[in-house]
Structure 1
Amino acid sequence: MTREGALLVVVAVTVLLLAVLAWAWWRRTRRDAVWSAPVGEIPADARETALFETLYVATTRHGEPLERLAIGGLAFRSRAALTVTDAGFALDLTGEPRLFFAAARLDDIAQATVAIDRVVERDGLVRVTWRIDDETLVDSYFRPQDASARALADALRGILPIPTGSDA
């Protein structure tokens, strides 16, 4: 095989791989189009309790840290400011509208080590489990930049709804 022939094979394989990747992402975004991120502002009567500079890592299916969801507004990793209030938390991702996660949507806060392509020291990520709709739980992962993961997790645990009745 000549050099030109080998180059054409490499270029063809590269183009094919890129096409498969684009097709897979397109299918994922269509699959996840039924959901949307909770765009909104912090309620006027909410009291801010903490502010964290974070890296938003990903949102995945609950309990499946390697299954990324392509939810509009939460599909890509980004730097973010996470504002904790007594009514929930706001997330300001670079280039996206503000997201507000009301405390009633939150199900669990924990620390994690792995999410998608991010592996950090033990418990270096914060996993927020929240309800994207009435029956679906998802996990969003954050990597604090100016504080410990424990400090962020503790601040968020303070706004978890208290289980009542059959939830307890």
Structure 2
Amino acid sequence: MTQEAAALILVGLAVVVLALMAWGWRRRSRRDAGIAAPVGERRGEIRGTFTGLYVATTRHEAPLDRLNVRHLAFRARATVVVTDAGVALELPGSAPVFLGAARIEGAGRATWAIDRVVENDGLVLIAWTADDGTVCDTYLRLQDGDPDALGAEIARLQTPTDSPSDSTQMGAQR
């Protein structure tokens, strides 16, 4: 086989792989079209600000099932602002996502999600409910600030009937 033939085969294989990736992402977009992130400006008095990386949003308790949710589909730098009314996720180039306290199901620590594995409990997990009732897990990797402090601030948003130990331990086994 000549070098030109080998190169053509490799280029053809690369085109097929890229086409399959695009096809899969379009299917995922259609599958997740009904799930919407609550877009809006942050409200309430600021309790804490944290910076880091937004990693992914997945179905609850399914860290390998990435959701293609508008405004939360791709990794990005993130500023997480916890207020007395909820949690704001501010990603560059995207509208801010505000998770009101009533939407938040809990927070905890995780070690892995979709294609990111870090040291033990290196990710912060925020579980929240979308408008359609789907419970989602959003994963963050903090660069500045204490992940436990972020989890504690989010736990304070929980209603008094929630058990603090349940909301802060969510996702700890991952």
TM range (shorter): over 0.9
- Name 1:47's counterpart in structure 2: 45
Cα distance, 1:163 vs. partner?
2.7
* 1:35-74 → structure 2 map (5 Å cutoff): 35-43=35-43, 46-74=44-72
- Name 1:116's counterpart in structure 2: 114
User: What code does the residue aligned with 1:28 have?
Assistant: R
Identity %: 49
- SS of the residue corresponding to residue 52 of structure 1 reads strand
Equivalent in 75, 78, 82 of residue 80 of structure 1: 78
- Name 1:162's counterpart in structure 2: 160
- The separation in 2 between residues aligned to 1:51 and 1:161, in whole angstroms, is 21
User: What code does the residue aligned with 2:125 have?
Assistant: R
Asked if the contact 2:86/2:100 (under 8 Å) is kept, the reply is: yes
**TM (normalized to structure 1)?**
0.92
Instruction: Point out where structure 1 has 5 or more consecutive residues left out of the alignment.
Output: none
Alignment: residue pair count: 162
After superposing on structure 2, the runs of 4+ consecutive aligned residues of structure 1 that deviate more than 2 Å are: 161-164
- The separation in 1 between residues aligned to 2:117 and 2:61, in whole angstroms, is 16
- Name 2:18's counterpart in structure 1: 18
Q: Deviations over 1:72-106 (max 9, x none)?
A: 00000110111100110111101101111000000
- Name 1:34's counterpart in structure 2: 34
Asked if the contact 2:35/2:132 (under 8 Å) is kept, the reply is: no
- SS of the residue corresponding to residue 32 of structure 2 reads helix
- SS of the residue corresponding to residue 42 of structure 1 reads coil
- Name 1:9's counterpart in structure 2: 9
- SS of the residue corresponding to residue 33 of structure 2 reads helix
Cα distance, 1:134 vs. partner?
5.0
Matched, 1:90 2:88: yes
Cα distance, 1:28 vs. partner?
0.5
- The separation in 2 between residues aligned to 1:91 and 1:150, in whole angstroms, is 17
- The separation in 1 between residues aligned to 2:132 and 2:34, in whole angstroms, is 13
Asked if the contact 2:106/2:154 (under 8 Å) is kept, the reply is: no
Asked if the contact 2:35/2:134 (under 8 Å) is kept, the reply is: no
Cα distance, 1:154 vs. partner?
1.2
CA separation of 1:28/1:93 partners in 2, compared to 1, >3 Å: closer, same or farther? Answer: same
- The separation in 2 between residues aligned to 1:80 and 1:23, in whole angstroms, is 28
70-79 or 151-160, which deviates more: 151-160
